[in-house]
Structure 1
């Protein structure tokens, strides 16, 4: 709750620099709450919201973890095909590599979840808001400045439309995360604080981390890291963490899914032609 992924990996990078004597006196870029003068302090969080359920290192038997790798070639092919189908000259409508990978994962998981067409589904994407605020915060600002961009549709609508449609919905949601939108959210939150426990998600994907984080640039003196693993923090159906892959331009998608959904996903030829399964139940 104190820091987000941007701050976490900034801390990690500084730690390695201290260990290698490249930096002796690290400094933090801090900024007060941007709602100063608008809200009354202190913010009173109900006791019930402060009690977090324990996260076990073992998953329930009906949940499984898996890692999928998208190579740079996989991503380029998906991105080119998707942007061609989206069309248009508006640069804002250009689908990013991350958006097309996430759309492929989301659509494939829904396809193999056995949901009724009318069931609502959501993709909740944790976003860094530093540069989206007005005035913007420094990229290095230490703390937690994450907003949850939520795309909502139905299972039927998702499956009746192509990959480009799913990617476009994510793109529109990302573009909707403005200073005004986050300010409204924050003002409402301080009036009624809610702390999500993040364990079980129904018909939803919750996506965190980023392929842009400098995961493999952290050397404590033992050499370049060879892998990153999420650990017990990724628990619950629909939890996804995204990391850069070891090869330039690649991505790794760490998933926690119901066992029956994962089994179908691993047999889905349309899904697997764009992705490689590299690890299973060893996260």
Structure 2
């Protein structure tokens, strides 16, 4: 297999899933399987590094911090090591709780479920810095605002486009969720280097009719307000509510096919880590946390604020998205064909 056979197809090929050691695993499997697994697959013209990490242990922020430290250790090459940001392992709990948290279950069958999502197409769409700047300017102008961010503008476009592609009835409730990092939202804040799972699925809700009946700026302003409202008080309310009535996340039951989940972040430094093989040429993810409407955000290969989005949809909906004029006028689907793949590595997550 070559790098081109992984990156060239229109859709992410299913073989990518087999390049991760923990394919089809769930968090509870961490009782018997490693919490961290690295699978290295030698390709004809490169290397694929597939990293699987139990989500109970870390979130995306900690995950990419781990990669950065590992890269710095490698580049030290036995010389004096100066880690730029040491990990912080001091556990955080709300006052009066922890460290042991009893769960209201007697058997794993009560909270562990495995699911098959059915037929999904996974496709990478690229958004250049110029395209994202236009989206941001449009969203702020249409909402008479100047504080809507680039990612909120891009997410509003994706939300509207996916709802339209799914042909939802006007009265159907639809949500757009962000994987929100809570470290800096707590008061006092946790350090950015805090190792753990400190993330919330921040949710914005409306109906399909309202979402498509208004413009991009209206949708972006809804998302912006949800982010503004996600404060220390909101985070504590959610966490204490969970501690009082614990439940276990089960993606197959939690996420309905009428909404969008924006996962990961283009702010994560995915291309700045180096292990003697040259800069990674692309980032791909495995089977975990994939369902209708799941969108995974990566920084674009060329940097500069560019973004790659991996979108998961049923075949019919994906075809509709590919024909959506508003969406495709902002997205491109061609990769940088001048990158030197002989010294690069597709990197997994």
Calculate the TM-score normalised by the size of structure 2.
0.73
Counterpart of 1:246 in structure 2 is 301
Q: 1:271 to 1:54 in 2, by over 3 A?
A: closer
**Alpha carbons of 1:79 and 1:40: their partners in 2 closer, same or farther (altered >3 Å)?**
closer
Name the structure 2 match of 1:218.
273
Which blocks of at least 5 consecutive residues in structure 2 are unaligned? 1-55, 336-347
* Matching of residue 72 in structure 1 with residue 72 in structure 2: no
Deviation at 1:33, TM superposition (A): 2.0
SS in 2 for 1:36: coil
SS of residue in 2 equivalent to 1:182 = helix
Counterparts of 2:311 and 2:81, CA distance in 1:
38
> Deviations for 1:18-65, whole angstroms, at most 9, x for unmatched residues?
12226748642123223132x36631222346524167xxx633x111
1:99: how far off? Answer: 0.5
Gaps of 5+ in 1: none
Cα displacement (A) at 1:234: 4.2
Higher RCO (C-alpha under 8 Å, 6+ residues apart): 1
Instruction: Tell whether 2:319 aligns with 1:260.
Output: no
Give 4+ residue runs of structure 1 displaced > 6 Å after superposition.
none
Aligned residues: 271
Question: Among residues 107, 127, 131, which one is paired with 2:180 in the alignment?
Answer: 127
Q: Show the counterpart of 2:63.
A: 8
Secondary structure of 1:276's match? coil
Query: In 2 relative to 1, CA 155–28 (structure 1 residues): closer, same or farther, beyond 3 Å?
Result: same
**Aligned twin of 2:74:** 19
The equivalent residue for 1:145 is: 198
Q: What secondary structure sits across from 2:284 in the alignment?
A: coil
- TM-score of the superposed pair, with normalisation by structure 1: 0.89
Partners in 2 of 1:260 and 1:194 — Cα distance? 34
Deviations 1:95-128 (CA, angstroms, capped at 9, x unpaired) = 1111111110110111121111001001111111
1:16 CA drift (Å): 1.2
Following superposition, the deviation at residue 94 of structure 1 comes to: 1.0
Deviations 1:156-214 (A, max 9, x none): 00010000001000001111111111111111111222222224532111121101000
Please give the residue correspondences for 1:79-118 in structure 2 after superposition, counting only pairs within 5 Å.
Answer: 79-88=136-145, 94-118=147-171
Query: Of the candidates 92, 99, 106, which is equivalent to residue 33 of structure 1?
Result: 92
- RMSD across aligned C-alpha pairs, in angstroms? 2.0
